[in-house]
Amino acid sequence: MAIGVLDSAIFADMFGTPAMRGVFGDEAFLARCIEVEAALARAQGRLGIIPAEAGDAITRGASALTSGRRALDFVRLKKETETVGYPILPLVRQLAECAGDYGRYIHWGATTQDIMDTAVVLQIRAGLRLIDEDLTAVRGHLADLARRYRDTPMAGRTHLQHALPVTFGYKAAVWLSALDRHADRLCELRPRVLLAQFGGAAGTLASLGNGEESLKTRAVLASELALCDPPITWHVTRDGIAETVQMLALLLGSLGKIALDVMLMSATEFGEAAEPFVAGRGSSSTMPQKRNPISCELILAAAKVLRQQAGLVLDALVTDFERATGPWHVEWVAVPEAFGYAAGALNQARFMLGGLIVDSGRMAKNLAMTHGLIVAEAVMMGLAPHTGRNEAHDLVYDACRVAIETDRPLLDVLLETSSVVGPLGAAKLQALTDPANYLGAAPAMVDRMLAGR
């Protein structure tokens, strides 16, 4: 019986994805541990540390276990892990049985954390590939929205009130800019986190001898697994793992901002956007008219939960001496869950943004609802060269107050204000009070964001 939503028979595909569960599930983790043990044996066989035949035999045994030709005894593994406290010694015993007489060379000079850390790095590499794929798709959807609605005016809002006109394409491009930076972060962190781990009991590789010779095993191991070879053991410096989860938390924070904007825009009073229509999706059990923003809600929830995992891995950075007495275990919980929630949120974002319903007519209606007040700044800036900025501000401020109190268009009030209409003229005032004429560099910034795509 599952206890969390990521493994729930009901909620798993709302908060996560099958692909990411395939990367971080128990079977996948154990397969990566076996992969590391086999790679270590091959590396040491090549270097003559153990017989070359042993490396081959251990690799064949590993292949038998990971391919299913020989079943891994999970019941036995679970029982022995609960006794030992870690799964590697129990796993090594079963792998050794598959390798025959050469099984005695398995795990040569290694320690549990070497195998588990390197296995997790392999999981992270696979998880980042999935994140990258989904992130690329979401960025593509945002670029399409920015391009399509480059010149579609809508009300820009600050403090939830009309501020100045923007375009919906500009809004989508702003969202895109953050996700582009996250894509850069994802690329930049790989060399810092995709590192092989092999240091032995205290990280010094003393069991393999002194000096540079003992380091050759780690270098060849890294090559076998297509990982980077670190200059020094990193098992008590967890910044690479922590950085990965922080990146995921940042990504979901940005997705949460997009989800919040879309959710507010889909409110009845705004009606400017809606999630893709699917019959029955977002239905209320009692109100037939409802279309709740389900994807946005799930993205927001995932962002909040993942924030807690980011805090956990920061706590795991504080380790004691040459082997941590507990902080490491925090990562066993935080890393798989972080990737699970990140994948789920990206999956929801792909669906939501890929079919987002945009109501440009409602945007225009909302933009006009204050009868020109949203471009009061435009009138002030147009008048300022004639009267000075402060005087222009006061004149337009008074006109806005009258327009609000009498529920009249700002243009009508301005046309009755001689100190305003005199210097500017009616035609100029009409142009200044048209929101479509006060978009600033919004369309140009959209072009910059889309350049080269």
Question: Could you list the active site residues?
Answer: 159, 284
Residue of 430, 446, 448, 449 lying closest to 438 (CA atoms): 430
Report d(CA 178, CA 293) in Å as an integer.
Answer: 22
Q: Within 10 Å of residue 325's Cβ, how many Cβ atoms?
A: 9
| Cα separations in angstroms, 293 against 296, 348, 382 | 6, 11, 41
Spell out the residues 6+ positions from residue 337 whose beta carbon is closer than 8 angstroms to its own: 4, 6, 305, 306, 309
Cβ neighbours, 10 Å, residue 181? 13
In one letter, which amino acid is 236? V
Question: Which region holds residue 321: left if phi is over 0, alpha if psi is between -120 and 50, else beta?
Answer: left
Is residue 346 exposed (0-12), middle (13-18) or buried (19+ Cβ within 10 Å)?
Answer: buried
Q: How many whole angstroms separate alpha carbon 332 and alpha carbon 29?
A: 11
Q: Which of 376, 165, 401 is nearest to 384 (CA)?
A: 376
Mapping DSSP to helix (H, G, I), strand (E, B) and coil, where does residue 152 land?
Answer: coil
Residue ranges of alpha helices (H) inside 226-325 are 239-265, 294-315
Q: Where are the alpha helices (DSSP H) in 69-167?
A: 74-84, 88-98, 112-148
d(C-alpha 207, C-alpha 197), whole Å: 15
Please give the single-letter amino acid code of residue 441. Answer: A
